[in-house]
Amino acid sequence: MPRFTEQEKEIINRKLLIEGEKLFAAHGLKKVTVDDLVAAVNISKGSFYAFYPSTEHLYVEILKQQLQEESMKIIGT
């Protein structure tokens, strides 16, 4: 299993969220593969699975983040 520093973990996770959002928006959940995601972020499949058990889990995390950001806009903070 890959070993990353806390800073590396934060950077990789942020990249997965950003690139995942782009890929899911362009192609939809069913068409985006782990191979697509790891190529976009330049990590191995094993590294991807150290962060998320599936593309669906990443997708849900992206949705949660978007919901939180929209909620903050609505309540004005």
Instruction: Please give the single-letter amino acid code of residue 17.
Output: L
Of the two residues 2 and 73, the one the predictor is more confident about is 73
Going by pLDDT thresholds of 50, 70 and 90, the confidence category of residue 3 is: confident
Alpha-carbon distance of 29 to 62, in angstroms, equals 11
In tens, the pLDDT along 13-26 reads 999 999 999 999 99
Q: What is the DSSP string of 4-72?
A: --HHHHHHHHHHHHHHHHHHHHHH-TTT--HHHHHHHHT--HHHHHHH-SSHHHHHHHHHHHHHHHHHH
For the entire predicted model, the pTM comes to 0.89
Q: What is the pLDDT of residue 77?
A: 62
For the beta carbon of residue 68, count every other beta carbon within 10 angstroms.
Answer: 10
